Amino acid sequence: MVVHPDAFRSQMKWLKRLGIQGLSLREAMPYVMGVKAGKVVAITFDDSYLNVYENALPVLQEHGFTATNFVVANQIGGGNVWDVPLGVGPAACMSAEQLRHWSSLGHEVGSHTLDHVHLPQLDEAEARRQISQSRSQLEDLLAVEVSSFCFPYGDQKPLDRKLVREAGYSVATTTQRGRARPNDDPFGLPRATVRRNDTWLHFVKKCVSG
């Protein structure tokens, strides 16, 4: 969930040493679905924190990797207001200018709803608004297609996957642990969570194990 900048740099170096290319979810999907073959991992960040721009972006550029940043559309230039009531310290989110720069470098911007909501707790109309309007706001801001979605908290039900598909996205991720495979539902992909206490060996196993 959180890693030190030095640990992140070390992890990216390990991918490079192993001949694994770090890609955005958009670029990695042909490999996930079996259309292309190669040693790749999709690198994703949730919530569009400023520290990703400041600490991760230079490392990604250094290694020639791309990544996906899932943005809470109504908190661009804001902060993690959804976490503060839970006692989590405040953290700034990327600004519009920083997101444009991120996108201009070939990295992907995906949607994380308008307000980082628990979608299954909403009625259908509000869930649809959170999913579809976040996409249109990001596309208007960046002048690029937004095709990837991430369910906040990993919370979703069949209706939410249906709404994501109907909103025009191509893929959606959950917090279910696992390796994405060709027979997975593209609107419910699992991911491997990288944590602050992962050793380099643990990290490598997450990237290469079946």
**Mean per-residue pLDDT, 127-155:** 97
Residue 134 is part of which domain span?
5-208
| Count of structural domains, the chain | 1
pLDDT, tens only, 91-115? 999 999 999 999 999 999 999 999 9
Tokens of 126: 């509000």
Q: In this structure, what are the phi and psi dihedrals at residue 52, rounded to the nearest 5 degrees?
A: -70, -45
CATH number of the domain residue 92 falls in: 3.20.20.370
> What is the Cα–Cα distance from 23 to 164, expressed in whole angstroms?
22
Distances (CA, A) of 53 to 61, 69, 127, 184, 198: 11, 10, 29, 30, 22
pLDDT for the residue numbered 48: 95
Distances (CA, A) of 162 to 2, 39, 147, 180, 184: 30, 31, 15, 19, 15
Residues of the chain above pLDDT 70, percent: 99
pLDDT, tens only, 12-38? 999 999 999 999 999 999 999 999 999
